Structure 1
Amino acid sequence: MSWAERAINAVSMPVVRRVMHFYWRFARGMTLGVRAAVLDDAERVLLIRHTYTKGWHLPGGGVEVGETMLDALKRELREEVHVRLTGEPVLHGLFFNPQGSRRDHVAVYVVRDFEQLRPKLPDHEIAEIGFFPLEGLPEGTTRGTRARLIEIIDEEPVSPVW
């Protein structure tokens, strides 16, 4: 991606995100997203950094009308990080996400059985991806991401709020 494309994305993607959230506010009674804590055999977690929002996040995205949460999870993992599930993910929890909007909820799955089909190169949506040791998460890993990983790995009580 050229510097010009990156500059346009840096300006336009936050605007697009705000417009879409405004639209969803009236078009949908509630928004629902899915995210995955993808953990490899070395107990490293797969994180992504978007081009349009700050921080490192668990991969995932929105559940479309007529789509199950599991189908959305599979689609988002394929699109964002080129990961295919080879086993059943485990639902960790469903969380209210007031940072997104007062209508936003996020389902988090734990994924341990998967294959990465090919390396994911940066594009207009994903700036970086990587597997990180849990004790060495990158600077900028979001509070919600850290909280979910503590719940999953350290078996801490699950909060109902992202």
Structure 2
Amino acid sequence: MNETPSRSTSQRPTPPLNARLFHFWLRLSRPVTLGMRGVIYDQEAHAVFLVRHTYVKGWHFPGGGVEPGESTEAALARELAEEGNIELLERPVLKSFHFNRMASNRDHVAVYLITRFRQTHPHVPDREIAEARFFPLDALPEGTSEGTRRRIAEIFENAAVSDEW
């Protein structure tokens, strides 16, 4: 008797070439972008850390894009070190997740709260970050972005969390 070996349920057939090409094209033509921002909060001073970029107006939370193969937390740690010489001392707390239609119709931003950190030394202006420092919550600088102000209201004033940046 000639038996056909049964396929185990853990094995998946390889999709046909045209299906693999379609999925590859779909990823290239419709990329989802993911970013993160860090709300670095100095509890004693009741202050947050903001940066002013050289290429966009206003004051913003530090952060940026998540690179391929990188987690949002790894990207956050990298960006905080680059933009503010800030080192995380414990895992950040994910506070919210937002659709950022101003960047693109497929951009999303994760917002993390950081209360345990160390700044190794003050940021020196460079080609990306013109200024970076702490501001008391009741004395934010002129030009603080609307998205930054909304996240502050959500986290520190119990405002309703918006789905949009």
Q: TM-score, normalised by structure 1?
A: 0.82
Match of 1:79 in 2: 82
How far the C-alpha of 1:130 sits from its partner, in A, is: 1.2
How far the C-alpha of 1:27 sits from its partner, in A, is: 6.2
Match of 1:157 in 2: 160
Gaps of 5+ in 1: 1-24
In the alignment, the residues of structure 1 paired with residue 48 and residue 35 of structure 2 have an alpha-carbon distance, to the nearest angstrom, of 19
In the alignment, the residues of structure 1 paired with residue 118 and residue 29 of structure 2 have an alpha-carbon distance, to the nearest angstrom, of 36
- Which has a greater percent of helix? 1
Gaps of 5+ in 2: 1-26
In the alignment, the residues of structure 1 paired with residue 29 and residue 122 of structure 2 have an alpha-carbon distance, to the nearest angstrom, of 36
In the alignment, the residues of structure 1 paired with residue 49 and residue 30 of structure 2 have an alpha-carbon distance, to the nearest angstrom, of 30
Deviation string for 1:117-161 (max 9, x for gaps)? 111100000000110011110000000000000000012211000
In the alignment, the residues of structure 2 paired with residue 56 and residue 102 of structure 1 have an alpha-carbon distance, to the nearest angstrom, of 23
4+ residue stretches of structure 1 with deviation over 3 A? Answer: 25-28
How far the C-alpha of 1:88 sits from its partner, in A, is: 1.6
Aligned AA (1:57): H
In the alignment, the residues of structure 1 paired with residue 76 and residue 29 of structure 2 have an alpha-carbon distance, to the nearest angstrom, of 22
In the alignment, the residues of structure 2 paired with residue 28 and residue 34 of structure 1 have an alpha-carbon distance, to the nearest angstrom, of 20
Q: Which of 108, 117, 122 does residue 119 from structure 1 map onto?
A: 122
Identity of aligned residues (%): 54
Q: Which has the larger radius of gyration?
A: 2
Q: TM-score, normalised by structure 2?
A: 0.81
* Greater mean deviation of Cα atoms: 147-156 or 26-35: 26-35
Deviation string for 1:90-123 (max 9, x for gaps)? 1011100011111111000000000001111000
In the alignment, the residues of structure 2 paired with residue 122 and residue 114 of structure 1 have an alpha-carbon distance, to the nearest angstrom, of 21
**Number of residues of Structure 1 aligned to a counterpart in Structure 2:** 138
Match of 2:16 in 1: none
